[in-house]
Amino acid sequence: MQVITIPSNTEYTNLYTLSGFAAGTSLIVTNSTSSTLFLIQSETQPADSSQSFPVVSGQTTLVQANAYPIWIRGGTGPVVVQSLLETVVPFTGVDLPHDTWTWSQEGLRRLRVDAGQTSFFNGRQFRTFKELSIPVGTSYVVSVNVGVDTVLFDVNLSIDAGSVRLKTYVGGTPGATPTETVPVIPKNTIPSTPAYTSQNSLLGLQTTFTGGVLIDVVRVVSANATAQQTSVGSSSFSERGIAPNPNYFWVFENFGVGTATGVFSSFWEER
């Protein structure tokens, strides 16, 4: 919170400069002077006669930030300026927060409605894939180190030759330590997406596997055509919450009579 004095009753002054708040901050302005203040948002300093929003003595108002500075003029006396995120007094909101609108121009803007997850837009969704070629009677093991609370949205196995059983375990022991990197790729690589590094990692290896607690199983058999099975994400709200644990495993077993080939894919959100 800042208490400032307006330098001029006729000339507009940049409110960000006066208050010290960063440009682009939504501000709550309380007029504690004995005269009316005037507020306006403009790319450049407005003319003295520019139409603006009046704030009468004793009134508190909210100015939603946009791409332009906030300008103010008025009589001498104390003016209380607060950030919207740090308000300590009641205030009268004259608009919804600007990031809930699809556009800045009145008459054209609409309320923003988005069926997507917030985690997609803040860079916390990731995906992986693995092209499989598993000889008969062998297994491919993927060790999954879950570093943070995770919501698993999709587990998909597509086979174009052979037969594969996909088992999910908590705990257990691979015959050899997986060392092959299985990619972890952000789902959203738009430049404006907040930077975030995945806390989950995957390593794979063709090896045996023993022990562990079986928590899911999927069988896919290809009969002269591509076969596909989804164990997570087959319908709305079928996602699963996964607690942090370095000992999850996906085990792909070839239980057919020839080499099994296909593609495995998955995606998740890190909380």
Q: For residue 41, give the nearest of 110, 111, 106, 112 by alpha carbon.
A: 106
CATH T-level topology, domain 122-270: Jelly Rolls (2.60.120)
Q: Which residues contact 68 (CB under 8 A, 6 or more apart)?
A: 41, 42, 43
Question: For residues 195 and 184, what is the distance between their CA atoms, to the nearest angstrom?
Answer: 15
Question: What contacts 95, CB < 8 A, 6 or more positions away?
Answer: 62, 64
Kindly report, as residue ranges, where domains of CATH 2.60.120 are found in the chain.
2-100, 122-270
In this predicted model, what pLDDT tens digit does every residue of 185-203 receive, in sequence order?
A: 999 999 989 999 999 999 9
pLDDT digits (tens, 9 = 90+) for 70-84: 999 998 889 999 988
Q: Which two tokens stand for residue 90?
A: 């009641």
Please count the other Cβ atoms lying within 10 Å of the Cβ belonging to residue 146.
20
pTM for the structure as a whole:
0.63
> Residue 27 and residue 74: Cα distance in Å, rounded?
17
Give 101-128 pLDDT, tens digit per residue.
Answer: 777 665 677 777 766 678 888 999 999 9
CATH 3.80.10 fits 2-100, yes or no: no
Quick: pLDDT tens for 125-184.
999 999 999 999 999 999 999 999 999 999 999 999 999 999 999 999 999 999 999 999
Rg of the chain over CA atoms, in angstroms? 29
